[in-house]
Amino acid sequence: MKQKIGRSYIKCRLKWIAAVIGCGIVMTAVLFLNEVPAGEIAYGMLLCLGILLVAVTMDGISYGRRHRELLALRQSITVSLENLPEPGEILEEDYQRLLGLLAEEKMRIWNTAVSEKRDLMEYYTMWVHQIKTPIAAMRLTLQGEDTPAARRLMTELGRVEQYVDMALTYLRLEEGGSDYVIRTCAVDDVVRAAVRRFAGEFIDRRIALDYTPVEWETVTDGKWLTFVVEQLLSNALKYTGQDGTVRIYREGDDLCIRDSGMGIAPEDLPRVFDMGYTGQNGRLDRRSSGIGLYLCRRICRNLRHEIRIESVPGVGTTVRLTLGRPAFVAE
């Protein structure tokens, strides 16, 4: 570090040092031509070099000290213009004024962006809540009919509700939502609530559900965990063909959801949790949004759960939720 500061100082002051040395050489030549004794010339030169050395040393120490002050400011969490050292020259004062103008412009842009994002989030949140009213009305209307067409419409309406819930969940996560209620939760209650939502689709598509109550309790947020299990069940149903099977079981500290669907290509597995990534299966099924698993991972991280996926193309997919450890909401 000291060598770097020294090189920087020499590079910055090189012109002035060269000018002083050049002036000394010129004065020495003039004195020599005027037949001033060599001893007196040497004495004067040594005295000037000593003064120059002391001046350069003191200036170098001051240069290094200012560098360390600025470095400390850069490494601090909050940096404000008020913390900057007093300018030692007019150029430094000009630079600090420019920094002030840049800081003001940055703050203006930041405040504008925050305001626009807040307005947009409020609009989307209001829209999501308002769209639930006609959805509920449609569900009530369809519940009075027991026909194949009505059941299909109920299934599609359920998917619309699911997409609305995904949008609302995304908005809450982006807002840094802290509406987590951590308590001891029965895993069977979570699974039953998720299965109940897709009961009609299980029946219509003749997909078998292999589920035996796990009689297991964990510390988590039941609402958010239910959303995760619903998303995983939705994916299992989406990519499992007619007469397929979805199995829900416990294995150690893992809640496993296994389907007999098309599976996931090996090259897609590392990216299935990326936002917007749909992979080969998403290109085959245009209903895929690429946001469900992304939300699941974010929620699991907030709850201090783990989510992993194992899959074999043509055989099926297994999603593992590690729930054994106590949940803790991230800030």
Query: What is the DSSP code string of 36-80?
Result: --HHHHHHHHHHHHHHHHHHHHHHHHHHHHHHHHHHHHHHSS---
Domain membership of residue 205 (yes or no) is: yes
Cβ-contact 297, 227 below 8 angstroms: no
Would 156 be classed as within a structural domain? no
For residue 247, pLDDT beyond 70: yes
Residue 250 within any structural domain of the chain: yes
Residues 184 and 328 in one domain: yes
Quick one: which of 23, 42, 19 has its CA closest to 32?
A: 42
Residue 115 lies in a domain: no
Q: How many domains does the chain have?
A: 2
Tokens of 296: 């699941």
CATH of the domain at 210: 3.30.565.10
**How many other C-beta atoms lie within 10 A of the C-beta of residue 217?**
13
Q: Are 183 and 331 part of one and the same domain?
A: yes
Does any domain span residue 245?
yes
Domain boundary residue, one of 18, 51, 85: 85
User: Are 182 and 319 contained in the same domain?
Assistant: yes
Burial 300-323 (b: 16+ CB within 10 A, else e): bebbbbbbebebeeeebbbbbbbb
- pLDDT tens across 29-60, in order? 777 777 778 777 777 777 877 887 888 788 77
Other CB atoms within a 10 A radius of the CB of residue 191 amount to: 21
Query: Position 21: which residue type?
Result: I
Q: Are 262 and 323 in contact (CB under 8 A)?
A: no
Q: How far apart are CA 264 and CA 311, in angstroms?
A: 6
pLDDT at 207: 92
For residue 57, the model assigns a pLDDT of 81
Q: Tell whether the torsion through CA atoms of 270, 273, 274 and 280 is positive or negative.
A: positive
Look at residue 19 and give its three-state secondary structure.
helix
296 and 185 fall within a common domain = yes
pLDDT value of position 327:
45
Q: Is the pLDDT of residue 64 over 90?
A: no
Q: Are 284 and 278 in contact (CB under 8 A)?
A: no
Q: Is residue 325 very low, low, confident or very high in pLDDT (cuts 50, 70, 90)?
A: low
pLDDT tens for 279-318 read: 777 666 666 667 889 989 998 988 889 999 999 998 999 9
Among 148, 327, 145, residue whose Cα is nearest residue 224: 327
Domain that holds residue 286: 178-331
pLDDT cut 70: percent of the chain above it = 87
pLDDT-based confidence at 189, cuts 50/70/90? very high
State the pLDDT confidence band at 248, using cuts at 50, 70 and 90: very high
Burial label for 187, CB within 10 Å (0-12, 13-18, 19+), is: buried
**Phi and psi of 264, rounded to 5°?**
-120, 135
Give the mean model confidence (pLDDT) for residues 132-153. 78
pLDDT reported for residue 154: 79
- Report the pLDDT value the prediction gives residue 61, as an integer from 0 to 100: 79
Give the range among 31-35, 112-116, 185-189, 321-325 with minimum mean pLDDT: 31-35
Is 238 a domain residue?
yes
Last residue of a domain, one of 56, 85, 114: 85
Q: Which residues of 144-167 are buried (b: 16+ CB within 10 A; e: fewer)?
A: eeeeeeebebbbebbeebbbbbbb
Please state, as a whole number, how many other Cβ atoms lie within 10 Å of the Cβ of residue 169. 22
Q: What is the C-alpha separation between 183 and 186, in angstroms, rounded?
A: 10
- Mean pLDDT check: name the lowest of 122-131, 170-179, 209-218, 287-296: 170-179
At 3, the amino acid letter reads: Q
- Domain-embedded: residue 147: no
Where does 112-241 show beta strands of DSSP type E? 183-186, 208-211, 217-220
Q: How confident is the model at residue 331 (pLDDT cuts 50, 70, 90)?
A: very low
Chosen domain end from 51, 85, 119: 85
* Residues 190, 78 within the same domain: no
Mean pLDDT of the chain: 81
Does some domain include residue 199? Answer: yes
- 187 and 329 share one domain: yes
